[in-house]
Copies of this chain bind each other. A is one copy, B any other.
């Protein structure tokens, strides 16, 4: 999108906050802004690796989730809850995955309101290949040190829990 800037724009923003008398919240502002930007960078990397597979991150996440379900199938509402996205986002992803013959919709055996998403053989294979690519090209080269990874998992885990994502642990 552009070449490197001569200065860190987030560090500059933090200084601006301090200069305007908002020093109390300048550091958290910088940390939060850094999280936003880091997510953007990571998402771009992930999408770049998935593109050759005809997948986006949203579709990959759903495929991966299904591949870990013993039966290879999940109700849409369950997928929505586990992926922590709006139900309409799941509908959207399933529409496209279904067109690509990677998943299929089937009626729930006992609840007429519910639709099950099932992985096709093709979908299972692609999920495996895409995961291997992500493991070697993104997760295996995150650039984060082992200690930092542990720290991130702990700090962000506490944050997510406090935000109401889950109740255990």
Contacts and interface: CB of A to CB of B under 8 A. Distances in A.
A106 interface: no
Contacts of A169: 7-8, 11
Interface of A: 1-11, 13-14, 16, 22, 24-25, 27-32, 34-43, 64, 68, 80-86, 131, 134-135, 138-140, 142-144, 146, 148-153, 155-169
A61 B48 CA distance: 26
Each complex incorporates copies of this chain amounting to: 2
A128 B34 CA distance: 21
A40 B22 CA distance: 25
14 contacts: A2-B80, A4-B165, A8-B168, A9-B84, A9-B165, A25-B135, A25-B140, A35-B152, A37-B156, A38-B156, A39-B39, A41-B160, A143-B162, A151-B155
Contacts of A155: 144, 148, 151-152
Nearest to A36: B39
Contact of A5 (B40, B148, B158, B166): B166
B163 A29 contact: no
Given A8-B165, A11-B169, A31-B142, 6 more contacts: A13-B64, A22-B131, A28-B144, A35-B35, A35-B39, A143-B163
Nearest to A14: B153
